Structure 1
């Protein structure tokens, strides 16, 4: 562990942006910049995503961050006493085990007493027959019965005690499992800190941004509407669950539908050419090594080993992170490189891009085997096919490479290689020689993944200094914390809830909460009020009397904002009465949808039909089916209502069949501007009924077919 020479700054969690899965936290720290510029900011969660730390100075133009890295400190606690909840669980577990032991001992006693039986003495051959002592047998039976009665009464009491102890233990264990994970272990206290190097002087405020897994959210709504008004209050609420390892207390919460872990790099498009074979192009990540790469670290070699107090951190869980560009005295920290195409050039070359290697002597071990990419001896020029998504597949070494190269490659390039089979011996015992591959180097997919490469500093071996290698640091404790945190993605969703990634479609939206909120790290759903959304509302009554002679009340909701309303449950309240909880579909900006409120008992509908069949035409060659529909509506409510009555007429693509409509209904719009999609043949009556009024609607249609034909599929007399 490193010596704690940095000045410690206190920090507070200020804001959190919860994505579809995962979150980005922003923590603020304030203090005075020390002379050496090194500051330690504690309080980061153990489930911190590696490489996600970002640091910047706010409010001070003359101070900037030149280095930022994550360090993990673990030390035994002063008093190795578990917290109250854990201590309660352990005590209840002991009581439950003791109750089980008492119950088991009572069962053994019952078994022993129940096994008591009269045993007569052994009879010898010459002994006469003896009379059975009935009184002794009866006394023994009475003793056993009396003893078993008392033991069974005590067993009932012990069984009840075991049940109560088991219930108390299960409740406490469930409470402990649901408790916040923002607590140290019982015996070891782990602290995750950000070690910053600041350039400047004076007071400064630093903003730390880092990503954590284990946070999900789903939208929910509360709709309040008053009868007769054309607007309502739609309150957006979110159910948030998080197990990131830190409690979010008094933070500004924002909710986003984007996928935090989606890759944003551009795919590699390979051209397919027909004709003469052409040499493979130079990979996009290839760059010539800088001149004098070995001389870059000559000053560190001359200075000798570094004192123990200023050694580079090598604690468990520490890893390089991105920081603001800057250089200064001291070691060169591992840094994330600039991706290809970025305007800033790389300061070092990828693995194996160093100075030209020395030419091996004829007959030496180096010249007997093919060269391996990333080693001082050169590269292995093999084309790497691309997999879907544009990223190249990982390339394996050819079978002819001996097992010795598997040990040489990790030492030179830092990449782990699997053991290779031995090459077959050539005739005469002479090792086969493979000619080096010609052409430009072909690095593997892992070596071209610039987001996962780390620039090695002066503390590395001479073959790794100033070169880019995949980050091989692995912290099993942090991985276990992240695995537990990601378990919240498997939580059962509330009723009618839809995950935001599914309902948002191809667009991403962000919703900022109007007030700060508290969300503990317990892995349970917590409701957060985001804000109020203005929507347009009006009540309409809908009925389809041909299917069911019932009128249903609906709220026609229109989204008048510039953000989409995601699908989720909505609690509908009309006036001061709670009606129901229903599902709200995804509503785009400017979109319209219906929210059902259930049957309306104050509006009645009755439907009657009549079919008259006749013939027409020359020699009665045409059959005429005259359908007549009569619908009656009655408004028993205290106010006027608008009722939409839906009917459906048959449709056909046969030219010999003609359908003539005789009604004042209208066909619904099919341009997608309405609140819903209508089936073909739908016809609509819209009627405004005053309070206590009744009305009648008459309509119908004629179907004309040839007499030699008949209708198939469906009831023509309905």
Structure 2
């Protein structure tokens, strides 16, 4: 037994947890928290609590296990409950009790009554007047004046008034002090009351775990509790940094990620893993359709549960028997005579229950069977016999309508029933067959059932009830097993209200909740899910769409920090080196600038997803580009811009020559192309020079032939770009550093002498 922070007894041992690992999916994340188990007198606590979890976590996704640093853990988690909790409250110093407040109020009231009494006495004294000298009788001497008595009365009045005024002044001062003391107590009490009131932003979810130890006490050291849960409100997109070394033909590919999370908790120093998978998906077994032939039968209801096994109620016999003995013992010794003896329902006859479930009249069960409820073999054999007899009686009671030329009545989709041969005796079936006319085949027809609007409405209501029941059956975290002392609920699962489950732990603490907690929890989940609608940064992609049919995971080499602010933060995942093939490409027909292209091999076991990449060459930033998805061990190309140290010049010449006989003469359009390359780099350069010559249409009376190419070139159709071309060729030459080389080609276009090419005969 431990004491909670608010001085309320609690059976939960609080644990200090930390986030150890986070796995971010395409939408959402799985968080793993760990907490060390502290031994109490050499034993693990029976129940522990891990608080401070986000409100948006999915209750059904919580998984708990116990790990040990010394090997296999001997402690296991037997039960998990999820509720709501608040951070520890700061205790108010010298918080007054209700008795102290009542005493202070009574003192103030007593002083106020005393002042009122004094004021009343002063008022009475002021009403006490000194009588005047009495008037004498006519004709007589005036009576003597009671001067002494009158002076004594006046002095008495003045003295009493002054005494009352002094007493009132003293009592008023005491009242002021008492009122200040009461106000101070009330203020402290108000602060203590406000400290117990829960505010919506203070709510957090908590997990209560029941532990059980099955090993020796010496094996309990070094164990920790691991809690995993899924929380929405997280997404990521990849980015890259490519650093190339032009001198050593090496490149480093740094894989980074932009992560946005609004889960309600900051990730500080966590081990990060990114995945392209969907975290949750629905999967169910297909339901095979059936075609039934024969007499119409009611549709069988599918059920996701089974009846309890035979003898389940016997498990509670010992409990009921011992309970009756205990109650009898209490009544005999007259310790408590006012406790009524509970009526325990008799255990049902298992044989009768089995037969009733199979639709068989239990009155036909012999006494021998009812006296031996555990003889299941005999129950099964007898139930089969009674089922056949019951089926035969039903067949005799039904009227079979035989039709020859009339169409059959409308029937349901499942009115055609295929009956098992074992369900009908051969003699009965032959009797029915003999009674049928032989003129035409007989058709069994069941009476048509009217399907009115009320029938459809009742059917829809039944379907909705079944769907609601199915939804409740999937709420595993809300299911509770009835206790043994509840005869109607024991051994059965029941659904608890979610709000009651959440408030269960709050009730154990002396706190006040003045709002709907379900509304706060639902709003937190909505705010977390809205994270997936935040716009991606420029160049960002949806990892689920580009991953294809497979899912991949990327782990970070170190621990990272990601705050829960709904903004994208760049984090480093891993960095790997790979070989780079640096080459140069020029198309002098279009542009004499030489472009650098780096060909890299994917160094990861997973694909490089499409995303933006920053390119550095020899430590200098060159450009930002966007790469496409590269499969594992695949090749990718990066354009590095223009290489100013390599110069290319293209020169052409043209000559038109007449050839052939007088009757059939041709024009030969001879084109010469010469390309000069100067490599001013200090190293060799592999340069690819691309050219293109005209290609006539298939029906054109034009012939194009290549006369000479120095050095030899090869065809190039631009298949890697997905846009093939005709007439393409290329040279691949190696130019030493600081040297020059020449490329040349000559081709001839031959046409009839009276023909001319569209656009002019000269092509260069």
Q: Taking structure 2 as the reference length, what is the TM-score of the superposition?
A: 0.55
**1:654 pairs with 698, 702, 707, which one?**
698
Residues 534-584 of structure 1 deviation map (CA, whole Å, 9 limit, x = unaligned)? 221132111122222221122111224422222222222212322222222
Call closer, same or farther: CA 1:617–1:478 in 2, change over 3 Å.
Answer: farther
- Could you tell me whether the CA contact under 8 Å between 1:609 and 1:629 is conserved in 2? yes
Matched, 1:553 2:596: yes
**1:6 pairs with 2, 12, 34, which one?**
12
Structure 2 Cα separation of the partners of residues 574 and 528 of structure 1? 22
Which residue number corresponds to residue 743 of structure 2?
Answer: 697
Matched, 1:16 2:39: no
* Cα displacement (A) at 1:253: 0.9
Call closer, same or farther: CA 1:643–1:75 in 2, change over 3 Å.
Answer: closer
Matched, 1:195 2:208: yes
Q: Secondary structure at the match of 1:197?
A: strand
Q: Secondary structure at the match of 2:530?
A: helix
Call closer, same or farther: CA 1:658–1:258 in 2, change over 3 Å.
Answer: farther
- Could you tell me whether the CA contact under 8 Å between 1:77 and 1:188 is conserved in 2? no
Q: Secondary structure at the match of 1:516?
A: strand
Which residue number corresponds to residue 579 of structure 1?
Answer: 622
Which residue number corresponds to residue 666 of structure 1?
Answer: 714
- Could you tell me whether the CA contact under 8 Å between 2:57 and 2:231 is conserved in 1? yes
Structure 1 Cα separation of the partners of residues 293 and 666 of structure 2? 69
- Could you tell me whether the CA contact under 8 Å between 1:16 and 1:26 is conserved in 2? yes
Call closer, same or farther: CA 1:189–1:293 in 2, change over 3 Å.
Answer: farther
Call closer, same or farther: CA 1:553–1:69 in 2, change over 3 Å.
Answer: same
Q: Secondary structure at the match of 2:557?
A: coil
Query: Which deviates more from structure 2 when the two are superposed, residues 28-37 or residues 537-546?
Result: 28-37
**1:458 pairs with 477, 482, 497, which one?**
482
* Structure 1 portions without partners, runs of 5+: 81-183, 305-353, 360-380, 384-396, 410-414, 418-442
- Could you tell me whether the CA contact under 8 Å between 1:447 and 1:470 is conserved in 2? no
Which residue number corresponds to residue 601 of structure 1?
Answer: 644
Q: Secondary structure at the match of 1:28?
A: strand
Query: Which deviates more from structure 2 when the two are superposed, residues 457-466 or residues 626-635?
Result: 457-466
**1:214 pairs with 197, 212, 233, which one?**
233
- Could you tell me whether the CA contact under 8 Å between 1:641 and 1:688 is conserved in 2? yes
- Could you tell me whether the CA contact under 8 Å between 2:13 and 2:45 is conserved in 1? no
**1:27 pairs with 33, 40, 43, which one?**
33
Residues 218-254 of structure 1 deviation map (CA, whole Å, 9 limit, x = unaligned)? 1122222222212122211211111110011111111
Which residue number corresponds to residue 152 of structure 2?
Answer: none
Q: Secondary structure at the match of 1:68?
A: strand
Structure 1 Cα separation of the partners of residues 312 and 456 of structure 2? 30
* Cα displacement (A) at 1:627: 4.6
- Could you tell me whether the CA contact under 8 Å between 2:659 and 2:665 is conserved in 1? yes
Structure 2 Cα separation of the partners of residues 214 and 241 of structure 1? 8
**1:251 pairs with 261, 270, 273, which one?**
270
* Cα displacement (A) at 1:194: 0.9
Q: Secondary structure at the match of 1:515?
A: strand
**2:454 pairs with 400, 403, 409, which one?**
400
Q: Secondary structure at the match of 1:211?
A: strand
Residues 374-399 of structure 1 deviation map (CA, whole Å, 9 limit, x = unaligned)? xxxxxxx998xxxxxxxxxxxxx984
Call closer, same or farther: CA 1:35–1:699 in 2, change over 3 Å.
Answer: closer
Which residue number corresponds to residue 40 of structure 1?
Answer: 49
* Cα displacement (A) at 1:197: 1.5
* Cα displacement (A) at 1:286: 5.2
Residues 481-519 of structure 1 deviation map (CA, whole Å, 9 limit, x = unaligned)? 122122332333333332322332222221211111111
Q: Taking structure 1 as the reference length, what is the TM-score of the superposition?
A: 0.58
Residues 193-236 of structure 1 deviation map (CA, whole Å, 9 limit, x = unaligned)? 11111121645311111111111111122222222212122211
Structure 1 Cα separation of the partners of residues 615 and 572 of structure 2? 16
Q: Secondary structure at the match of 1:514?
A: strand
Call closer, same or farther: CA 1:249–1:679 in 2, change over 3 Å.
Answer: same
Residues 137-171 of structure 1 deviation map (CA, whole Å, 9 limit, x = unaligned)? xxxxxxxxxxxxxxxxxxxxxxxxxxxxxxxxxxx
Residues 80-139 of structure 1 deviation map (CA, whole Å, 9 limit, x = unaligned)? 9xxxxxxxxxxxxxxxxxxxxxxxxxxxxxxxxxxxxxxxxxxxxxxxxxxxxxxxxxxx
Structure 2 Cα separation of the partners of residues 461 and 622 of structure 1? 112
Structure 2 Cα separation of the partners of residues 652 and 296 of structure 1? 95
Call closer, same or farther: CA 1:685–1:39 in 2, change over 3 Å.
Answer: same
Larger radius of gyration: 2
Q: Secondary structure at the match of 2:629?
A: coil
Query: Which deviates more from structure 2 when the two are superposed, residues 33-42 or residues 201-210?
Result: 33-42
* Structure 2 portions without partners, runs of 5+: 1-7, 93-196, 324-355, 362-411, 415-450, 500-516
Structure 2 Cα separation of the partners of residues 277 and 638 of structure 1? 94
Which residue number corresponds to residue 72 of structure 1?
Answer: 84
Structure 1 Cα separation of the partners of residues 23 and 557 of structure 2? 13
Matched, 1:538 2:595: no
Matched, 1:632 2:655: no
- Could you tell me whether the CA contact under 8 Å between 2:15 and 2:37 is conserved in 1? yes
- Could you tell me whether the CA contact under 8 Å between 2:472 and 2:495 is conserved in 1? no
Aligned counterparts, 1:489-504, within 5 A: 489-504=532-547
- Could you tell me whether the CA contact under 8 Å between 1:543 and 1:645 is conserved in 2? yes
Structure 1 Cα separation of the partners of residues 469 and 295 of structure 2? 27
Q: Secondary structure at the match of 2:61?
A: coil
Matched, 1:523 2:523: no
Which residue number corresponds to residue 260 of structure 1?
Answer: 279
Call closer, same or farther: CA 1:448–1:42 in 2, change over 3 Å.
Answer: closer
Structure 1 Cα separation of the partners of residues 25 and 587 of structure 2? 42
| Higher share in helix | 2
Aligned counterparts, 1:207-606, within 5 A: 207-263=226-282, 265=283, 268=286, 270=288, 288-291=306-309, 295=313, 399-401=453-455, 417=465, 447=470, 457-458=481-482, 466=492, 475-606=518-649
* Cα displacement (A) at 1:710: 8.3
- Could you tell me whether the CA contact under 8 Å between 1:75 and 1:188 is conserved in 2? no
- Could you tell me whether the CA contact under 8 Å between 1:20 and 1:501 is conserved in 2? yes
Q: Secondary structure at the match of 1:487?
A: helix
- Could you tell me whether the CA contact under 8 Å between 2:33 and 2:228 is conserved in 1? yes
- Could you tell me whether the CA contact under 8 Å between 2:24 and 2:234 is conserved in 1? yes
* Cα displacement (A) at 1:520: 0.9
- Superposed CA RMSD in Å reads 4.8
Aligned counterparts, 1:80-119, within 5 A: none
- Could you tell me whether the CA contact under 8 Å between 2:243 and 2:618 is conserved in 1? yes
Residues 423-453 of structure 1 deviation map (CA, whole Å, 9 limit, x = unaligned)? xxxxxxxxxxxxxxxxxxxx76983998666
- Could you tell me whether the CA contact under 8 Å between 2:241 and 2:613 is conserved in 1? yes
Call closer, same or farther: CA 1:544–1:405 in 2, change over 3 Å.
Answer: closer
Which residue number corresponds to residue 163 of structure 1?
Answer: none
Structure 2 Cα separation of the partners of residues 302 and 489 of structure 1? 59
Count, aligned residues: 497
- Could you tell me whether the CA contact under 8 Å between 1:630 and 1:696 is conserved in 2? yes
Residues 451-492 of structure 1 deviation map (CA, whole Å, 9 limit, x = unaligned)? 666756327995997369899889432222122122332333
